[in-house]
Amino acid sequence: MTGDAADPALWVSAMKAIASSKDRGIAIIKPREQKEIISRIRDAEKAGAAAVGIDIDGAGLITMALKGQPVSPKTFQEIGELVSATRLPFILKGIMTAGEADLAVEAKAAAIVVSNHGGRVLDHTPGTADVLPEIAKRVKGRLIIFADGGVRAGADVLKFLALGADAVLIGRPLVTGAFGGGSEGVAFLFNKMKDELIQGMLLTGTADVKLVKKEILFSSGV
Protein backbone atom coordinates (compact mmCIF):
# COMPACT_ATOMS: atom_id res chain seq x y z
CA MET A 1 0.00 0.00 0.00
CA THR A 2 1.53 3.29 -1.07
CA GLY A 3 0.87 6.84 0.11
CA ASP A 4 0.66 10.27 -1.43
CA ALA A 5 2.37 13.52 -0.49
CA ALA A 6 3.13 17.00 -1.79
CA ASP A 7 6.45 15.93 -3.31
CA PRO A 8 5.65 14.58 -6.82
CA ALA A 9 8.69 12.26 -6.68
CA LEU A 10 6.92 10.20 -4.02
CA TRP A 11 3.98 9.53 -6.33
CA VAL A 12 6.33 8.45 -9.12
CA SER A 13 8.10 6.06 -6.77
CA ALA A 14 4.74 4.75 -5.49
CA MET A 15 3.62 3.94 -9.04
CA LYS A 16 6.94 2.16 -9.70
CA ALA A 17 6.45 0.09 -6.55
CA ILE A 18 2.91 -0.81 -7.60
CA ALA A 19 4.04 -1.71 -11.13
CA SER A 20 6.62 -4.10 -9.71
CA SER A 21 4.30 -5.65 -7.12
CA LYS A 22 2.58 -8.16 -9.41
CA ASP A 23 -1.01 -6.88 -9.06
CA ARG A 24 -0.77 -6.63 -5.30
CA GLY A 25 -0.14 -2.91 -4.90
CA ILE A 26 -2.73 -0.53 -3.53
CA ALA A 27 -2.57 3.23 -4.09
CA ILE A 28 -3.92 5.49 -1.38
CA ILE A 29 -4.47 9.03 -2.65
CA LYS A 30 -4.82 12.21 -0.58
CA PRO A 31 -8.25 13.93 -0.57
CA ARG A 32 -7.16 16.37 -3.27
CA GLU A 33 -9.45 18.11 -5.76
CA GLN A 34 -11.64 15.55 -7.55
CA LYS A 35 -9.89 15.82 -10.92
CA GLU A 36 -6.49 15.38 -9.27
CA ILE A 37 -7.69 12.24 -7.50
CA ILE A 38 -9.15 10.82 -10.71
CA SER A 39 -5.90 11.50 -12.56
CA ARG A 40 -4.04 9.54 -9.87
CA ILE A 41 -6.61 6.73 -10.01
CA ARG A 42 -5.79 6.44 -13.73
CA ASP A 43 -2.04 6.31 -12.91
CA ALA A 44 -2.72 3.50 -10.45
CA GLU A 45 -4.87 1.59 -12.93
CA LYS A 46 -2.08 1.85 -15.53
CA ALA A 47 0.48 0.66 -12.99
CA GLY A 48 -1.66 -2.44 -12.35
CA ALA A 49 -2.93 -1.62 -8.87
CA ALA A 50 -5.17 -4.17 -7.14
CA ALA A 51 -7.20 -1.42 -5.49
CA VAL A 52 -7.24 2.32 -4.89
CA GLY A 53 -8.50 4.54 -2.12
CA ILE A 54 -8.29 7.84 -0.33
CA ASP A 55 -7.11 8.68 3.17
CA ILE A 56 -10.08 10.89 3.92
CA ASP A 57 -8.49 11.78 7.26
CA GLY A 58 -5.69 13.56 5.39
CA ALA A 59 -8.18 16.39 4.80
CA GLY A 60 -6.48 19.00 6.94
CA LEU A 61 -2.82 18.45 6.15
CA ILE A 62 -1.15 21.85 6.18
CA THR A 63 1.95 20.40 4.49
CA MET A 64 -0.12 19.82 1.33
CA ALA A 65 -1.74 23.29 1.32
CA LEU A 66 1.65 24.98 1.82
CA LYS A 67 2.87 23.33 -1.38
CA GLY A 68 -0.16 24.49 -3.40
CA GLN A 69 -1.94 21.11 -3.35
CA PRO A 70 -5.00 21.66 -1.20
CA VAL A 71 -6.76 18.77 0.47
CA SER A 72 -10.20 19.00 2.04
CA PRO A 73 -13.07 16.97 3.49
CA LYS A 74 -15.07 15.06 0.88
CA THR A 75 -18.84 15.05 0.70
CA PHE A 76 -20.74 11.78 0.47
CA GLN A 77 -21.57 12.63 -3.15
CA GLU A 78 -17.91 13.30 -4.02
CA ILE A 79 -16.90 9.97 -2.50
CA GLY A 80 -19.61 8.24 -4.57
CA GLU A 81 -18.23 9.88 -7.72
CA LEU A 82 -14.74 8.58 -6.96
CA VAL A 83 -15.94 5.06 -6.19
CA SER A 84 -17.76 4.90 -9.50
CA ALA A 85 -14.84 6.46 -11.43
CA THR A 86 -12.96 3.15 -11.36
CA ARG A 87 -13.61 -0.56 -11.67
CA LEU A 88 -10.98 -1.22 -9.02
CA PRO A 89 -12.09 -1.91 -5.45
CA PHE A 90 -12.20 1.38 -3.54
CA ILE A 91 -10.91 1.84 0.02
CA LEU A 92 -11.85 4.59 2.45
CA LYS A 93 -9.02 5.06 4.95
CA GLY A 94 -9.64 7.02 8.13
CA ILE A 95 -13.00 5.69 9.34
CA MET A 96 -13.49 6.20 13.10
CA THR A 97 -17.23 5.83 13.76
CA ALA A 98 -19.95 3.30 12.99
CA GLY A 99 -21.93 6.04 11.22
CA GLU A 100 -19.03 6.73 8.85
CA ALA A 101 -18.69 3.01 8.23
CA ASP A 102 -22.39 2.88 7.30
CA LEU A 103 -21.83 5.70 4.82
CA ALA A 104 -18.85 3.82 3.34
CA VAL A 105 -21.12 0.81 2.72
CA GLU A 106 -23.73 3.11 1.17
CA ALA A 107 -21.06 4.69 -1.08
CA LYS A 108 -20.18 1.14 -2.26
CA ALA A 109 -16.63 1.19 -0.91
CA ALA A 110 -15.04 -2.27 -1.01
CA ALA A 111 -13.15 -1.71 2.23
CA ILE A 112 -12.54 0.71 5.06
CA VAL A 113 -9.46 1.30 7.14
CA VAL A 114 -10.29 2.04 10.76
CA SER A 115 -7.46 4.49 11.33
CA ASN A 116 -6.66 7.77 13.06
CA HIS A 117 -3.61 8.21 10.82
CA GLY A 118 -1.37 7.07 13.64
CA GLY A 119 -2.65 9.92 15.83
CA ARG A 120 -0.83 12.34 13.57
CA VAL A 121 -3.65 14.45 12.17
CA LEU A 122 -5.66 15.39 15.27
CA ASP A 123 -4.64 15.11 18.89
CA HIS A 124 -7.14 13.46 21.25
CA THR A 125 -8.76 11.16 18.69
CA PRO A 126 -9.69 7.83 20.29
CA GLY A 127 -7.46 4.82 19.70
CA THR A 128 -8.55 2.61 16.83
CA ALA A 129 -8.83 -0.45 19.09
CA ASP A 130 -11.42 1.47 21.12
CA VAL A 131 -13.69 2.26 18.16
CA LEU A 132 -13.18 -0.93 16.15
CA PRO A 133 -15.70 -3.23 17.96
CA GLU A 134 -18.64 -0.85 17.41
CA ILE A 135 -17.70 -0.36 13.76
CA ALA A 136 -17.32 -4.11 13.22
CA LYS A 137 -20.68 -4.76 14.88
CA ARG A 138 -22.28 -2.38 12.38
CA VAL A 139 -20.64 -3.33 9.07
CA LYS A 140 -18.79 -6.66 9.40
CA GLY A 141 -19.38 -8.78 6.31
CA ARG A 142 -20.68 -5.86 4.25
CA LEU A 143 -17.18 -4.65 3.33
CA ILE A 144 -13.62 -5.52 4.29
CA ILE A 145 -12.51 -3.99 7.57
CA PHE A 146 -8.82 -3.12 7.82
CA ALA A 147 -7.47 -1.46 10.95
CA ASP A 148 -4.18 0.19 11.83
CA GLY A 149 -2.44 2.10 14.57
CA GLY A 150 0.10 0.59 16.90
CA VAL A 151 0.34 -2.92 15.46
CA ARG A 152 3.84 -3.75 16.63
CA ALA A 153 3.81 -7.49 17.23
CA GLY A 154 1.98 -10.61 16.10
CA ALA A 155 -0.12 -10.51 19.26
CA ASP A 156 -1.36 -7.05 18.25
CA VAL A 157 -2.56 -8.52 14.95
CA LEU A 158 -4.50 -11.16 16.89
CA LYS A 159 -6.01 -8.49 19.16
CA PHE A 160 -7.21 -6.38 16.22
CA LEU A 161 -8.73 -9.46 14.58
CA ALA A 162 -10.49 -10.30 17.85
CA LEU A 163 -11.85 -6.76 17.98
CA GLY A 164 -13.42 -7.20 14.54
CA ALA A 165 -10.84 -6.38 11.84
CA ASP A 166 -10.54 -8.67 8.80
CA ALA A 167 -6.88 -7.66 8.41
CA VAL A 168 -4.42 -5.13 9.79
CA LEU A 169 -2.07 -2.61 8.26
CA ILE A 170 1.40 -1.85 9.58
CA GLY A 171 3.02 1.55 9.12
CA ARG A 172 5.94 2.88 11.11
CA PRO A 173 7.68 -0.40 11.96
CA LEU A 174 8.10 -0.95 8.21
CA VAL A 175 9.96 2.35 7.94
CA THR A 176 12.42 1.12 10.58
CA GLY A 177 12.71 -2.25 8.84
CA ALA A 178 13.24 -0.70 5.41
CA PHE A 179 15.80 1.89 6.56
CA GLY A 180 17.62 -0.63 8.70
CA GLY A 181 17.78 -3.50 6.24
CA GLY A 182 15.95 -2.76 2.97
CA SER A 183 13.72 -5.55 1.69
CA GLU A 184 15.53 -8.00 3.99
CA GLY A 185 14.62 -5.79 6.96
CA VAL A 186 10.97 -5.71 5.89
CA ALA A 187 10.90 -9.49 5.37
CA PHE A 188 12.53 -9.99 8.78
CA LEU A 189 9.87 -7.86 10.42
CA PHE A 190 6.96 -9.65 8.71
CA ASN A 191 8.37 -13.10 9.50
CA LYS A 192 8.90 -12.15 13.14
CA MET A 193 5.33 -10.88 13.44
CA LYS A 194 4.01 -13.94 11.63
CA ASP A 195 5.82 -16.24 14.08
CA GLU A 196 4.43 -14.23 17.00
CA LEU A 197 0.93 -14.40 15.50
CA ILE A 198 1.15 -18.17 15.14
CA GLN A 199 2.39 -18.45 18.73
CA GLY A 200 -0.56 -16.34 19.92
CA MET A 201 -2.99 -18.44 17.89
CA LEU A 202 -1.60 -21.67 19.33
CA LEU A 203 -1.93 -20.41 22.88
CA THR A 204 -5.47 -19.07 22.43
CA GLY A 205 -6.84 -22.10 20.59
CA THR A 206 -7.32 -20.12 17.39
CA ALA A 207 -7.16 -22.41 14.35
CA ASP A 208 -7.77 -19.82 11.65
CA VAL A 209 -7.22 -16.07 11.36
CA LYS A 210 -10.81 -15.85 10.07
CA LEU A 211 -12.11 -17.42 13.29
CA VAL A 212 -10.57 -15.30 16.03
CA LYS A 213 -12.94 -15.18 19.00
CA LYS A 214 -13.59 -12.11 21.18
CA GLU A 215 -13.28 -14.40 24.20
CA ILE A 216 -9.49 -14.41 23.85
CA LEU A 217 -9.65 -10.77 25.01
CA PHE A 218 -12.78 -10.64 27.15
CA SER A 219 -13.83 -13.72 29.08
CA SER A 220 -17.51 -12.82 28.63
CA GLY A 221 -17.00 -12.41 24.89
CA VAL A 222 -18.52 -8.91 24.87
Ligand X SMILES: Cc1cc2nc3c(=O)[nH]c(=O)nc-3n(C[C@H](O)[C@H](O)[C@H](O)COP(=O)(O)O)c2cc1C
Binding residues for ligand X (CB under 6 A): 3-5, 28, 55, 93, 115, 117-118, 148-151, 170-172
Q: Whole-number minimum distance, CB 27 to ligand X, in Å?
A: 10
Whether residue 145 contacts residue 139, with contact meaning beta carbons closer than 8 Å, is answered with: yes
Q: Is 117 a catalytic residue?
A: yes
What are the start-end ranges of the E strands in the chain? 26-29, 51-55, 90-95, 111-114, 144-147, 167-168
Closer Cβ to ligand X, 6 or 105, answer by number:
6
CA distance 24 to 69: 28
Q: Whole-number minimum distance, CB 125 to ligand X, in Å?
A: 12
Whether residue 17 contacts residue 6, with contact meaning beta carbons closer than 8 Å, is answered with: no
Q: Is the dihedral of CA 85, 88, 89, 92 positive or negative?
A: negative
Q: Whole-number minimum distance, CB 5 to ligand X, in Å?
A: 6
Closer Cβ to ligand X, 93 or 159, answer by number:
93
Closer Cβ to ligand X, 90 or 219, answer by number:
90
Closer Cβ to ligand X, 128 or 206, answer by number:
128
Length of the chain: 222
DSSP characters over 166-193:
SEE---HHHHHHHHHHHHHHHHHHHHHH
Q: Whole-number minimum distance, CB 150 to ligand X, in Å?
A: 5
DSSP state of 56: G
Rounded to the nearest 5 degrees, what angle is found at the Cα of 201, between the Cα atoms of 196 and 207?
Answer: 140
Give me the catalytic one of 117, 133, 148, 150.
117
- Catalytic residue set: 117
